[in-house]
Amino acid sequence: MIRKILAAALVAAPLSATSVLADADLGKEDSCKYQGQVMSAVQQARLDRVPQAQVEDTIRATSPDWPANFSNAIPQLTAHVYQMKRRDLKQYDLGEVFEAQCLENWEQIQTMKKNLADN
């Protein structure tokens, strides 16, 4: 279940979060690190019982360290994370898992972004 949700989020988030950034401006490690941080923030909001409709505002109010456009992925990630049971979220560090999957699938993600941009 975790992998299915993360796989869907992995496709959605990087495409929307990094579409404004040129790949030359931000490397794989930094991009994936920021994506993992966004996922961790959403997970923590869920664990802190922040209402789903307030997650984006709550996270943005903390002035996170990632580039501002990465916050664009918060709504998509929130939808996925809030489908999960809180007890399951306590067992996994989704930010760490998300970052690892991003690094592992970087080339595939870049190909998908390029294909979307060409259309």
* Per-residue pLDDT tens over the stretch 79-90: 999 999 999 999
Instruction: Report the C-alpha gap between 7 and 18 in whole angstroms.
Output: 17
Residue-level pLDDT at 3: 56
Q: Which residues contact 57 (CB under 8 A, 6 or more apart)?
A: none
Is the whole model's pTM more than 0.85, yes or no?
no
Residue 38 neighbours by CB distance under 10 Å: 25
**In whole angstroms, how far apart are CA 83 and each of 4, 9, 78, 93, 104?**
12, 12, 8, 16, 24
Q: What range defines the domain where residue 103 resides?
A: 2-20+28-118
Domain count, the chain: 1
